[in-house]
Structure 1
Amino acid sequence: MDDPQQQAKRPVSALAGSYGHPLHPIFVTVPIGAWVASLVFDVASHVAGDPGFLAEGSLWLIGLGVAGALAAAATGFLDLLAVPPGTRVFRTALVHMSLNLAVTAAYAAAFGWRLDDTGGPVAPGRIALSAAALAALTASGFLGGKLAYRYGVRVADEKTQAEGFTRTGTAPRHTADQGENA
């Protein structure tokens, strides 16, 4: 395919999801949700009468997030393979991937750091690590949104999207080919 923009919209493998239905955005909800919930559990461990169950719950949420991040990374890497190297979108995708790998490594380290200590409130250093990792994840999420919503990586092209805006039983009132004043 000669058009790099169209190339970035097509999956390189069925494992990445079908055209217009990438799997990466679905899989990222697992680590994001698990890691946000783990921070909530961390903070709650300081106000609960019995903090041990919250510290242990946070530990397992971190582990679940790491496992989910590996699935998200695999599908995200497949999406990256569709992006032409040397482009602005490719550089953005590399920064997005690098941040996500760093965040996942931080949470994997946090899991190991907490493994033998879930009896009391979560230590402030461990909470700080989670908060810093979530801040980096937020920056990475912003870049992921830019990849999808601004650059259209793995998003169906406008002609395919236009099918959803055709009124049932009537001719389309406006198409991209007609121009703005049609």
Structure 2
Amino acid sequence: MREIRALQSLTSAIEHASVLDKLIDVDVKAVKALVQPDALKQLLHGVPFGHPLHPLMVQVPLGAWLSSALLDLLPGTHRSSRTLVGVGVVSAGVATTAGLTDWSELDREQQRTGYVHAVVNGTAMTLYGLSWWQRKRGNHLRGKVLGMLGLVVVSGGGYLGGHLSYRQRAGVSEHGEVPFERPPVGA
């Protein structure tokens, strides 16, 4: 089966969206300034684990949000679903930190895709934050609707993350070394 042409056109347009470059330059500088010292940067890159940390970390918010959506289909699960939405929001923040650390070291076309990936997922995080707030206030239907919208949006972000990893090969090493690993000082 062939790739859907509209999706191929979309990802190509994002990869070549030079209009993002000035924003990317500012954000790369900010990430590199904030993620210090080098030991923290290496931890966020996943060097001690032998591969990037971000793909592993995104499993927690995605699992929490998907579980929340399933609970939303059952009666009497408001509190459990709200808890899962909150776990997803908090853990997404941690996963984002690792993702931004990796993103700051990618090539320009990968950074463009990663930037849109981050904006889309940031939108999903906002929807989930609003979902949690509505649920906390007792507006369960609004919370459920915002959660379902968040799930749709984060799925789009996941698509871009998959494109970044599998098509653009972001964070993939040539010879099996850990991506982003720095040689020891003096080596």
Do these two structures clear the TM 0.5 threshold for a shared fold by scoring above it?
A: yes
Segment of structure 1 superposing worse, 127-136 or 58-67? 127-136
Any conservation in 2 of the 1:13–1:78 contact (CA below 8 Å)?
no
The answer as to 2:106 corresponding to 1:92 is no
Count of residue correspondences: 137
Q: 1:88 deviation in Å? A: 2.1
| Structure whose CA Rg is larger | 1
Q: Which amino acid aligns with 2:53?
A: L
Q: Which amino acid aligns with 1:39?
A: A
Whole-angstrom CA distance in 2 between matches of 1:82 and 1:13: 12
Q: Which amino acid aligns with 1:65?
A: G
Any conservation in 2 of the 1:28–1:72 contact (CA below 8 Å)?
yes
Whole-angstrom CA distance in 2 between matches of 1:42 and 1:15: 33
Whole-angstrom CA distance in 2 between matches of 1:137 and 1:99: 7
2:172 paired residue number:
155
- Structure 1: gaps (5+ residues): 1-11, 46-50, 162-182
**Which residue of the other structure, out of 62, 69, 84, is the alignment partner of 1:32?**
62
Please give the secondary structure, in 2, of the residue aligned with 1:43. coil
Whole-angstrom CA distance in 1 between matches of 2:64 and 2:129: 13
2:155 paired residue number:
138
Normalising by structure 2, we get a TM-score of: 0.68
Higher relative contact order (CA 8 A, sep 6+): 1
**Which residue of the other structure, out of 21, 38, 41, is the alignment partner of 2:71?**
41
**Which residue of the other structure, out of 84, 92, 117, is the alignment partner of 1:61?**
84
Whole-angstrom CA distance in 2 between matches of 1:36 and 1:115: 19
Fraction of identical pairs, as percent: 31
1:111 paired residue number:
132
Normalising by structure 1, we get a TM-score of: 0.69
1:17 paired residue number:
46
1:76 paired residue number:
99
Between Structure 1 and Structure 2, the one with more helix by share is 2
